[in-house]
Amino acid sequence: MATEKKSLYLETTIPSYATARTSADVISAARQAMTRLFWEQYREKYKLFVSQDVIDECKLGNPEAAQKRLALIAGITVLKKSDEIATLAAIYQKLLKIPDRAKTDCSHLAVCVTIKINYLLTWNCTHLGMDSYVKVRDYNDKRGLWTPFLVTPEDLLYSTKEESV
């Protein structure tokens, strides 16, 4: 009996790390390698999603790099925005004290909550890390809302390896 794939939302840092030239910074290079490994060997284990925000963010910057990011996510289901998502994103922005320049991070989170996505995959641990997860989980639990796991490719690589042991 086949098990249903868990849902996974790709935040913009994932296509960015997967397609960027290898960084001279050791930590960034390691994150790039883990992201590429996840993409090449483990992405098929999940039902993948993005939002229009991810597409819009992938279009920014160097046109050649933007094209690589967009090509990577081509064919992935794009989740639609709604008034409910926009309202929840505004609540999260206030709750997490996210600056306006990064408010799209709250939209990524609100999409996952509203659509009930299992995992929000990101390297953006500043705004979508453990501190945010705890605050959002507490807020959501009190209101009966879904809370996705906020994970990095590294988290999923280790959990996938443990599952196969």
pLDDT in tens, 96-147: 999 999 999 999 999 999 999 999 999 988 878 788 899 999 999 999 999 9
Contact 36, 21 (CB under 8 A): no
Can you tell me the distance from the alpha carbon of 42 to that of 14, in angstroms, rounded to the nearest whole number? 13
Sheet holding 77-79, edge to edge: 77-79, 46-51, 6-10, 119-121, 149-151
Read off the pLDDT of residues 12-71 as tens digits, 9 standing for 90 and up: 999 999 999 999 999 999 999 999 999 999 999 999 999 999 999 999 999 999 999 999
> Encoding tokens for residue 153?
């490719």
Q: Looking at the domain that runs over 6-164, which CATH code has it been given? A: 3.40.50.1010
Residue type, 112: C
| Distance in angstroms (rounded) separating the CA atoms of residues 162 and 49 | 24
Query: What is the rounded distance in angstroms from the CA atom of residue 49 to the CA atom of residue 77?
Result: 5
Task: Tell me the β-bridge partners of 49.
Answer: 9, 77
Sequence ranges of the domains in the chain: 6-164
Q: Calculate the alpha carbon distances from 96 to 16, 139, 147 in Å.
A: 24, 11, 15
